[in-house]
A and B are shown apart, each in its own frame.
Chain A
Amino acid sequence: MRGNHVVAEAAIRAGCRFYFGYPITPQNETPEYMAAALSKLKDGVFIQAESELAAINMVIGGSMAGVRVMTSSSSPGISLKQEGISYLAALELPAVIVNMCRGGPGLGNIAPAQSDYFQATRGGGHGDYRNIVLAPSSCQELAELTMEAFDLADIYRIPVIILADGMLGQMMEPVEFPDHKNPKKLSPKDWALTGAKGRPGRVIRSLILDPVLEEEHNWKLMRKYERIQKKEVRYETFLLGDAKMAVVAFGTAARIAKGAVQKVREQGLKVGLLRPISLWPFPEKVLVELGKRVKLFFVFEMNMGQMVEDVRIALGRDGDIHFYGRPGGVVPTPLEISRIISSHYLRKRL
């Protein structure tokens, strides 16, 4: 199944019946799948909005009404959604937003890239806030993480971003959809706008004119973010047990890096891979632990160096951290990456 279709099918299996979006390559197969599939469901709603701005605001409306709702886009469209994502964060509304990232800045191109890491993990719009950001690296994971994204969004009342790229969106792989069970933790949406039947009117708003109260709201969000940082860190390790050098990469870059690690292992180099799956919350503690026994780090990203900043924050000044990036939609081969890994490794005489 194609990655973009996997996202759509997974969303429907997770109980999402509302999709609002605007076409942009390389993710068009998601809205196309949604249009066909949701029209067959009696409670399904698909709208091709007039813009990403409109789409994200339809998402806000749907979310206010208490339903599971999703939008998807790619980099330039995600930029347009940022105002709405800031509102989702402020209003504490659950929503799932998929970014099949492409080369940028500007119109850039339609090739796979990871250049929206900062935008996704730092909030992206105005104000002090975070989104949960999940980075799949296969179609199977696109399915699992998309389904999980809806649960996380509901549990924490937060926008969840699936940050993938054009490669994952276009790639075809066999997928087994897990059975979706609603987690027990889900409490009823007693905050949703449904009409004030037998109760006073309910208000969902983000305007808080009194700075002291706005500060309080910010701290409330912060405490939620701290809970998420404690509980929702996700990552994969590969051959790190005896490793003297660790490669850190996410998403498509991690797939390439895995191939590269296997190649250098064949040459007898003790190299492993850490793949952050949740980009926010970032697996900082895992890196700190790893830094106690591994002295050489190599970060590879399909951008000019974004996640590497989080690695530097985690490891501090002592970390011997090297970076290699290919921005602009260029996808290097495992061979290219393996050569750079082994040259660092050998130079260090590990």
Chain B
Amino acid sequence: MKKVFSRPRSLRKVPFHYCPGCGHSIIHRLVAEVIDEMGLREITIGVPPAGCAVLAYFYFDFDMGESPHGRGTALATGLKRALPDRLVFTYQGDGDIAAIGTAETIHTANRGENITALFINNACYGMTGGQMAPTTLLGQNTTTSPGGREGLRDGYPIRLSEMLALTDGSAYIERTAVNSPVNIRKTKKAIAKGFKVQMDGLGFSLIEIVSPCPTNWRMSSHEACQWIEKEIIQYYPLGVIKDVTKRGQGC
């Protein structure tokens, strides 16, 4: 019988621990597929965050080095400078990359560091139990924004990707989502593009992936996917934000 679907080489034979309906599982698979398809497994070094994806190194079968919370892009900088011909990527939640690690992220982008950041935007802190994240929407209930996030009290949902696009060192920035088959396919293409930009030595690339966290949103998987469509994407529009390979596009 012809095999039409199998585990990517870059994924270990270990079941994911993520909650049912969580976007991390989908994104892990996409990353592994892209790395396999581009033939990069043997030169890949991944940097998992502190966050729900901290255990990513149990799933990916390539080299992985753990980072303190938020410092992924700085750590990846050290790795990449030491091994410039490897594919180095970080995998970071929104709290990791856009709150505690904002400074590192902006300056890594600004240096045009030749790495790729995968920024998983699930509008909350998953691992620590659903607290407010920098990306939490206005009015969104979390355990630390009871009654809903208020801009002038809690700060506004930050648009990190757009901010990073303003740095001259960033080369490719795209926002995608994994709430539907179409968007999942686009996410895979975006990850591949980010890695290609890195392998071509063009500078910093980042893919922001809007991802469901049904557990902390207190929704079913289906509701979570719909909520992304109806709410998150309205505030965080999908698409390419910056692409230096296409002159005249982006900002």
Partner-A contacts on B (CB < 8 A): 12, 41-45, 47, 54-55, 57, 60-68, 71, 74-83, 86, 103-104, 106-107, 111
Contacts and interface: CB of A to CB of B under 8 A. Distances in A.
B42 A20 contact: no
Interface in A90-115: 91
A72 to B, nearest CB: 15
Best-surrounded residue of A47, A61, A197 (most CB of chain B within 10 A): A61
Contacts, number: 136
A59 B71 CA distance: 11
B61 A198 contact: no
A155 B57 CA distance: 26
Contacts of B44: 195-196
B65 A54 contact: no
A146 B103 CA distance: 31
B66 A206 contact: yes
A196 B36 CA distance: 13
A62 interface: yes
A50 B103 contact: yes
A67 B67 CA distance: 17
Q: Could you say which interface size class chain A belongs to?
A: 35 or more
Nearest to B41: A196
Contacts of A53: 71, 74, 103-104
Contact of B82 (A49, A62, A200): A62
Given A18-B81, A67-B82, A84-B68, A196 B74 contact: no
Given A60-B78, A61-B82, A54 B66 contact: no
Contacts of B71: 53-54, 57, 60, 84
Contacts of A193: 45, 63-65, 79
Contacts of A194: 45, 63, 83, 86
Interface string A5-34: 000000000000010100000000000000
A45 B104 CA distance: 18
A189 to B, nearest CB: 11
Contacts of A64: 45, 65, 75, 78-79
A201 B82 contact: no
A60 B75 contact: yes
A62 B74 CA distance: 10
A20 B81 CA distance: 11
Given A62-B82, A196-B44, A202 B63 contact: yes
A195 B40 CA distance: 9
B75 to A, nearest CB: 4
A65 B78 CA distance: 8
18 contacts: A51-B103, A54-B77, A57-B75, A58-B74, A58-B75, A60-B71, A61-B80, A64-B75, A65-B83, A193-B45, A193-B63, A195-B42, A195-B44, A196-B42, A196-B63, A198-B42, A201-B62, A203-B65
A53 B100 CA distance: 11
A207 interface: yes
Contact of A59 (B42, B63, B78): B78
Contact of A201 (B63, B83, B107): B63
**7 A-B pairs with the lowest CB-CB distances in the bound complex, closest first:** A61-B78, A65-B82, A57-B74, A58-B78, A62-B78, A57-B71, A50-B107
Contacts of A198: 42
A87 B75 CA distance: 12
Contacts of B54: 207
Contacts of B82: 18, 45, 61-62, 65-67, 69
A197 B81 contact: no
Interface in A60-83: 60-67, 69, 83
Given A18-B81, A195-B42, A61 B63 contact: no
